[in-house]
Amino acid sequence: MIGELTFFLGLKVKQMKDGTFISQTKYTTDYRGMIGSLLYLTASRPDILHAVCLCAHFQSNPKESHLSAVKRIFRYLKGTIQYGLFYPKNEIFSLKGYSDSDYAGNIDDRKSTSGSCQFLGDCLVSWFSKKQNCVSLSTAEAEYISAAFCCTQLLWMKQTLADYKCSFQNVPIFCDNISAINIAQNPVHHNHTKHIEIRHHFLRDCVSKRKIEISFVPSQDQLAEIFTKPLTSETFASIRARLGIMHIELGL
């Protein structure tokens, strides 16, 4: 009575002589546009990086639940629209990194998520959240791989800062997993980790050459945790503030 069905509940319907074609072309285009905007925003709002990266995994075939999650991110941004990164003046010019992982956190393929952030003094200058390429067999392995990712970023920063006559030795990586620290510091431990890809073991080499120092940090002080897993509102707000993400009224 109302004509041929062409669109229903986000589904585009094309009825043809030999069958019916159903797609979500318009829905997927809109979703990708929102994800692209949010990824651009993470340049000054690292607090949304983990959530945006999770939603980005479903760009090829988003569903209503994924769109709801993206809308929730937008609601959070609306309530914190004046927030941004603050870089305080400070005479301390030290380089350090935090590394964390969410072991088997992805419910689809059981892969872990690596998270890391790097500081110059008290200023956050680099951060990332990334699903690991392979399935880790233990929490220690997931944490060790995350620390290796953090190490590569710190080595690149050391090399870049050397052009400005800034030299750093034994740059610390703070990790909250004792077993991962032992793997990086104890070569004997490698007999039990032969399945870990060789490219990740360069972390052990950097530690032995005193380029990198991997140190323990309690879980409550692990700032990279915000890039790996959902947190309680209190923990999230605390880490957000310690990363330098705050509200400052600019009077514009």
pLDDT tens readout for residues 92-122: 789 999 999 999 888 888 999 999 999 998 8
Q: What is the pLDDT of residue 248?
A: 75
For residue 24, which phi and psi values (nearest 5 degrees)?
Answer: -125, 40
Cβ burial, residue 193 (10 Å; 0-12/13-18/19+): middle
Residue 160: pLDDT over 60:
yes
Residue 207: pLDDT over 60:
yes
What are the tokens at 168? Answer: 């750093």
Q: What is the mean predicted confidence (pLDDT) over 164-173?
A: 90
Residue 40: pLDDT over 80:
yes
Q: What is the pLDDT of residue 105?
A: 85
Residue 222: pLDDT over 70:
yes
Is 43 or 2 the better-scoring residue by pLDDT? 43
pLDDT confidence of 194, banded at 50, 70, 90? low
Where are the strands (E) in the chain, listed by range? 7-8, 11-16, 19-23, 83-85, 95-102, 113-120, 123-131, 171-175, 212-216, 245-247
Query: Which 3 state secondary structure label does DSSP give 158?
Result: helix
Identify the DSSP state of 225.
G
Q: CA angle at residue 104 from 59 to 203, to 5 degrees?
A: 100
Q: Which domains does the chain have, with CATH numbers?
A: 7-81 (no CATH), 89-247 (3.30.420.10)
